Structure formats: C-alpha cells, structure tokens
Chains A and B, each alone.
Chain A
Amino acid sequence: MTKPLKVGLRAGGKPPDELLWSVHYLTAARDEAISFLTEDQYAHVVDGFAALAREPDPRRPATQRVEQVEDFYEFKDKGGILAKINLRVYFAVLSAQKTIIALHAIKKEADGQTPKHVKILVGMRLRRLHAGEYGPLP
C-alpha cells in the first residue's frame, strides 16, 4: 500500500511570488523615467510595477495608488526613495494578454488633474500601440 501524500503550507515560508500579469513598457516611457530618476529610484518603480503584477486586478490595487484616466491608468507615487519627485506613470491594461504596459512617465510639480497634453500624448501612444506601430502586441 502506498503512503498518502501530505500537502500543506509551511508556516514562515517564503511568500508566494506569483506574477499574475506581465509588465512591458514603451522604450519612450523608459527613457522618460530614467531622464529624471536615479538608478535607485528606477529600481523602486520597478518594484511598484512588480507589485501591480501580483495584484488580481492592477486597475484597483491594494498596494499602489492607481487612478483611471480615460481609457488608461495613472500610477502615482512620491516620497520615500523618490524624495521630492511626484511620480506619474501612465499605463494600459491589456486584459486578454494579462499584460500591463507603461506608456509615459513624468514628474509632476504639484498634485492635481492630469494635464490635457499628457492625456493627448498617452491616448496617441495607446492608439499607436493597438495599431501595432511599436511592433506586435505582447
């Protein structure tokens, strides 16, 4: 007779590291981010997107501040390692592909509404993304 297999959770074990979403970026957005972020700050932002990728719904995350702007989303963070930088990263969620795509990054001087020119630029990049102008969708 074979022994029954025991399955259980080990208390104090390593936390689950499952990424539910993949994360991509437009190279233009990455270039924008590294133009005003240090290497340390960029690593922090990557952590923020990794945390989003572990969320069941990155549009309504528990761990990050995200707001919907038209048909894309605004990731907001400030303080801590970002110091005086009021960071905004605009991203799209491609549900069918389970993919998050960062489209634009800025540092904002003050809290408040998303500037209209930012909405226009991100909307255009999103349209071009869907049209395959940056290459095939992930």
Chain B
Amino acid sequence: MATAEISPGVQPTRRDNDTVALAITVIMDRIMQLPAADRADFWALVLELHTAVADEDRLAIGRAIREVLGGATGSVQKMDLDTDKKKPQGYKNWVKVVSKRVGDARKKAKLTQDQLAAKSGLPQSHISRIEGAKLSPSNATLEKIAAALNLPIDHFDFS
C-alpha cells in the first residue's frame, strides 16, 4: 500500500499522481461493491465530513468511513457480569467510600432501605447492593438518592 506523503507546496511527481489515481480507483471499486444501505451511509458520512468543524468529529467520521468501506470486523462477545469477580483497586476504593456515604445518609434520615427505595424510585435491591459495596452507582442513581434525601449530588459524587 502506498503511504508516501505529498508535502504541501511541492509539485507532485507523476508517481505521486499515479498513486492517488490508484487509491481513487480502489475506493471507487469498494463503493460500487457496497450494499445499497452501506453506500447510502458512505455518502451521508462524506457529507458530514464536509460540514464537520471539530477535529474530534472529523477523526470519528474518518474512522466510520473506513468501517463502512472495510466491512464488518470483530465479533459479538458476552459481557462478564460476575459480581464476585475480582475488581480493580481504584474501583474498590470508590465503591467503598460511596457505599458508606449512601448508608450513612440514609440512616441519618432515619429511613429504611425500603423507604428510600419508595422515595427515590429505585429498587430496594439496588440500594442494598450499593450499601453492600457490590456495585458502583451511576450518576442517575446518585441523583435520585440525593433528591430523596434532600442532599446535593456532590455529597455522594465528590469527583
């Protein structure tokens, strides 16, 4: 595969032009072989690239275009949801602190887990898992707990 760069301001050589022509031919051939839906995605992404302002978006669109042209890669794998699996230390530290803060705040408000569940709209089992340091709660969960206990979110989310 040709990878030579053509520097700005430097007149491309005939060899450079041949490389570009070859690349265009290959890409055109790939486009023509795409199923109709993928081809529509390709052109939609090209239009997005034309109007993208942020570098981050341009890079993401470039990756998406390569994926459209390259076909499906990778596979489907099952996510390991084993809660007893060994967790990384930073995660364990975070979960330990947040679980204690949730438990302490609930007890200070003189609520049972069931009462906090009813006030927050969360399942009691979810609150039990948080207090038992069995899971790292989402921002959505912490917002609900904070609202139910009339506390600011940063009482639990001290990041």
Contacts and interface: CB of A to CB of B under 8 A. Distances in A.
Interface of A: 15-17, 19, 22-28, 30-31, 38-40, 43-44, 46-51, 53-54, 62-65, 76-83, 101-102, 106, 109, 115-118, 120-121, 123-125, 127-129, 133-135, 137-138
What are the 8 A-B residue pairs with the smallest beta carbon separation, nearest first?
A40-B90, A27-B74, A133-B72, A15-B125, A65-B140, A40-B91, A23-B79, A44-B136
A81 B61 contact: no
B41 interface: yes
A40 B96 CA distance: 13
A54 B27 CA distance: 45
B126 A129 contact: no
11 contacts: A15-B124, A28-B67, A79-B142, A80-B98, A80-B142, A117-B57, A117-B60, A118-B60, A121-B64, A124-B64, A128-B72
B108 to A, nearest CB: 20
Contacts, number: 159
A102 B136 CA distance: 19
B152 interface: no
B155 interface: no
Interface string B120-141: 0111111011001011111111
B75 A81 contact: no
Interface residues of B, number: 56
A138 B144 CA distance: 33
A24 B78 contact: yes
B57 A47 contact: no
B125 to A, nearest CB: 4
A16 B55 CA distance: 46
A134 B76 CA distance: 6
Nearest to B74: A27
Given A77-B140, A82-B159, A124-B67, A135 B76 contact: yes
Contacts of A133: 71-72
A50 B135 CA distance: 9
